[in-house]
Amino acid sequence: RLRWAVRFASDRDDLDNFEIVIRGVCRDRAFGFTVKPLFPAVNGALNVERPYLWWPKGYGEPNLYNVTTTLLYRGEPVDEKRERIGLRSVRLERDFTPGRQKFAFFVNGAPVFLRGTNHVPTDVFHSRAKGRVKKTVDLIDEIGCNALRSWGGGIYEDTLFYDLCDERGIFIWQDFAFGNAVYPQDGSMDDNIRDEAVKLIRRIRSHPSVLIYSADNEIDMRYANMGYPDESKVYSRIANELLPGVIAQEDPYRQYLKSSPETPFGFTVNNVPEQHTWGARAWYKDDFYKHSTASFIGEAGYHGCPAPESLAKFIPAEDLWPPFNRSWAAHSTEDLRNHEGLDRIRMMVKQVKILCGEEPAALEDLALVSQFAQGEAIKFFIERSLYLRPQRTGILWWNIVDGWPQISDAIVDYYYNKKLGFDFIRRAQRPVTAFFGECEGWAYPLVIANCSLIDACVTYTVTDGDTGETLCEGEAFAPANRNTRVRGLELPVSEKRLLLIDHTVNGQRQQNHYITGFPPYSVETLRRWAEILKGLD
């Protein structure tokens, strides 16, 4: 059911000789109609028979219709507008009931697992941002994302960004540009906010990639952490009245969140359906990450140092090592007006020490081991989310690429150099993938996650990455949109091995990996494994 609306202007005395012709075409299918306008604004609805639907990546094709609206006067065209639209339905089911939290998207009636990233401005100088849009979306597509969150602490991207996501089947969770602060509620900003929201919505509302609107980033979280004594003290007019009113007027068919994560009074950030699972950012398999109650993860990340050649472009040579100096701090994410700015640098070094048992002795070791830890962390967050399906319905990890030269959670640095974890994540985000869950009893469960609408036939071989020994092999049938637990691989949990999972999905070869045992792993072992993993498909 397609709703349409047309408005035009004319200086003629009457509308008797005007006609409006609307025609949409996608491959070999089309819809169209002609209407005589009684007023210069006209609207209606149309049933589109046998439509080609727009699907997110992995679930089908992102079919787009080229729609032409032509204004005729006495049979001659006097104006025309061209658009590309997608026909699809989206439904969000939410439940805040403790123990039964739910945050699940259904597209064209089918449940979908969203695997994606958070998107920050492509460049801190906004005049340069458009020039980096295509390369950034190419990376998001290459790494296998079918969704991204346009973060509320950022900017509203150029229309090219939405066009490319339409074409690639990448959903956009659109935050309004409010982040991590308590904004004035006295009405003094209302006119500016309303004007900004109207302009954004009118520009993007016809894009099928726009999944949902969210009022802001983490403002509910901020209120929840303030410890107000009762609910009457916690109220955002902007999120509860102003923005919903604009959306109801301008784009009433899209759903809306009052915050990300939305945290009603009496809830904490760790027991609502959608959560930002940052925690202490210590061992990435600790209980906080492993046993999160989130139905959907809107943010989760881990630090990874840029490669030495990238660092050398923005850190003076005399400050490259050791990293505890003002130059590193200036390119971290701390406020240097408040303190020395090295907290997250020290955190990254401690994360390296967790994985290899010692502080890095050289810049090359810091870069290698931190990137290994980052890749393993985000890979684990994704695969743990897949393992928990259907209770877990998606994850948007933090984040794809830096908007300026810095030391951060991004998986690609400002210069577009991919960190080691890029391919770890790419292999975990395929529509059908085989992976190992955490050891249960004596065995690691081998699971095939089918995040598509097509059944899959999978053959698999698991080998030891160091010795080449075949540990198990077989065939499995993986029904559409389901997890299939294939078998358990018995290994002592104390053994530290690199397992390579070579699997063929409907005739197409794929690879993945899993590391057994617990830290620490020696730097030499991690370096050897990194070289092996660089060669996987």
Tens of pLDDT, residues 193-203: 999 999 999 99
With cut-offs at 50, 70 and 90, classify the pLDDT of residue 336. Answer: confident
Please give the C-alpha separations between residue 279 and each of 288, 380, 498, in angstroms, as whole numbers.
7, 15, 27
* pLDDT of the residue at 242: 97
- For residues 350-370, average pLDDT: 97
Please give the C-alpha separations between residue 70 and each of 28, 32, 80, 84, in angstroms, as whole numbers.
21, 11, 4, 15
With cut-offs at 50, 70 and 90, classify the pLDDT of residue 334. Answer: confident
* pLDDT of the residue at 182: 87
Q: Which residues contact 519 (CB under 8 A, 6 or more apart)?
A: 283, 354, 355, 356, 357
β-strand partners of 485: 447
What's the rounded Cα separation, in Å, for the pair 195 and 254? Answer: 19
With cut-offs at 50, 70 and 90, classify the pLDDT of residue 230. Answer: confident
pLDDT tens, 455-502? 999 999 999 999 999 999 999 999 999 999 999 999 999 999 999 999
Distance of alpha carbon 185 from the chain centroid: 30
pLDDT tens, 53-83? 999 999 999 999 999 999 999 999 999 999 9
* pLDDT of the residue at 440: 94
- For residues 216-221, average pLDDT: 94
What's the rounded Cα separation, in Å, for the pair 164 and 133? Answer: 9
Sheet with 456-464, strands from edge to edge, namely 470-478, 456-464, 498-505, 508-515
Above 90 in pLDDT, residue 247? yes
* pLDDT of the residue at 231: 84
Above 80 in pLDDT, residue 371? yes
- For residues 293-315, average pLDDT: 97
Task: Tell how strand 18-26 and strand 29-35 pair up.
Answer: antiparallel
Above 90 in pLDDT, residue 112? yes
The answer to whether residues 6 and 42 touch, using CB atoms and an 8 Å cutoff, is yes
pTM of the entire predicted model? 0.96
What's the rounded Cα separation, in Å, for the pair 137 and 421? Answer: 18
Average pLDDT of the chain, as a whole number: 95
- For residues 436-452, average pLDDT: 97
**Burial annotation 240-269 (CB, 10 A radius, 16+ → b, else e):** eebbeebbeeebeebebbbbbbbbeeebeb
- For residues 167-191, average pLDDT: 94
- For residues 221-244, average pLDDT: 89
With cut-offs at 50, 70 and 90, classify the pLDDT of residue 226. Answer: confident
